[in-house]
Amino acid sequence: MSVFLKNEFAAGGSGDLAPLETWVELWVTNDSDYDQAMSIIENFQKSGDKADWLCQSCGEENSGSFKFCWNCQNTCPE
Do residues 42 and 56 both lie within one domain? no
Burial 4-34 (b: 16+ CB within 10 A, else e): eeeeeeeeeeeeeeeeeebeeeeebeeeeee
Do residues 32 and 54 both lie within one domain? no
Q: What is the pLDDT of residue 47?
A: 66
The partner residues of 75 in beta bridges, in order of sequence, read 68
- What is the domain extent for residue 17? 3-47
Do residues 54 and 41 both lie within one domain? no
Question: 63 pLDDT exceeds 70?
Answer: yes
Do residues 62 and 37 both lie within one domain? no
Q: What is the pLDDT of residue 70?
A: 93
Q: What is the per-residue pLDDT across 12-61, written as a single tens digit (0 to 9) for each?
A: 888 888 888 888 888 999 999 999 999 988 887 776 678 899 999 999 99
The CA distance from 36 to 39, in Å, is 5
Q: What is the pLDDT of residue 40?
A: 87
Model pTM score: 0.48
* Alpha-helix runs per DSSP H in 1-78: 34-47
